[in-house]
Chain A
Amino acid sequence: AQRVTQPEKLLSVFKGAPVELKCNYSYSGSPELFWYVQYSRQRLQLLLRHISRESIKGFTADLNKGETSFHLKKPFAQEEDSAMYYCALKGSSGNTGKLIFGQGTTLQVKP
């Protein structure tokens, strides 16, 4: 079964502290993984995708096939990082781009 698990509903850190939002997936084959973010009163938007191997707003995520994980990391959290973060997996459904989302983690960065 294809599944995405985000074990933490809420992650609370102080400004300047490192952040790691966990994501584990279940998928047979080569996965394509993404992180989406929803800031307060804004629409959900793509943060980064593992294929691009890019760093967006200081966030990085490395695909670990051995541990079936795609954790999102940032060395120094900022207050503006407070948001809901969703990990997503592209399902094996042809060319629709259909995604399977995790349950989401709310990141709260305290001053």
Chain B
Amino acid sequence: NAGVTQTPKFQVLKTGQSMTLQCAQDMNHNSMYWYRQDPGMGLRLIYYSASEGTTDKGEVPNGYNVSRLNKREFSLRLESAAPSQTSVYFCASSQGQGGETQYFGPGTRLLVL
């Protein structure tokens, strides 16, 4: 099993450009999450999906949208990238239904110029 996979690994955008970060898991998990990791700020939750067909805002949702395409896939979209969105983005999944252990992807490093 690959666990949680993310694409791309690295991306450079210009301010105003859009892009979608892809995430997939093969563990049949119900819940999926998107975090951003910034120095001194730790991991901050952007959006999460408790189950297929549902999404909810996390701590820092502004400037992002998400889609839970099916049980396996959870994508994060930046409609108009800003330099403040330069960060490392992590996708994670968990069994949900009270299962708290989260399994993380390798991360996507995004640079917005």
Main SS class of interface, A? loop
Number of residues on chain A facing chain B (CB within 8 A): 23
Task: Give the total number of A-B pairs whose CB atoms are below 8 A apart.
Answer: 63
* Distance A95 CA – B94 CA, assembled complex (angstroms): 10
- Beta-carbon contacts of B24-42 to A below 8 Å, as 1s and 0s? 0000000101010000111
- CB of B40 within 8 A of CB of A9, answer yes
Looking at the complex, which one of A32, A45, A86 makes contact with B42 (CB distance below 8 Å)? A86
Q: Which of A27-47 contact B (CB under 8 A)?
A: 32, 34, 36, 43-46
Q: Are A103 and B41 in contact (CB under 8 A)?
A: yes
Interface pair A95/B41, CB less than 8 Å apart: no
Interchain CB contact under 8 A, A95 and B101: no
Residues B100 and A102 in contact, CB atoms below 8 Å apart: no
Complexed CA–CA distance, A9 and B104 (Å): 22
What is the CA–CA distance of A6 and B106 in the complex, to the nearest angstrom?
A: 23
**Interface of B, helix, strand, loop or mixed by DSSP:** strand
Contact yes or no, A98 B105, CB < 8 A: no
The interface size bin for chain B is: 20 to 34
Determine if B101 and A46 form an interchain contact, defined as CB atoms under 8 angstroms apart.
yes
Instruction: Decide yes or no whether B98 CB sits under 8 A from chain A.
Output: yes
Q: Is the CB of A44 within 8 A of B90?
A: yes
Say whether A32 contacts B106, CB under 8 Å.
no
Residues of A within 8 A of B92 (CB): 44
A34-B100, A43-B107, A90-B100 known; A98-B90 Cβ under 8 A = no
Which residue in B31, B42, B56, B104 is a CB contact (below 8 Å) of A97?
B31
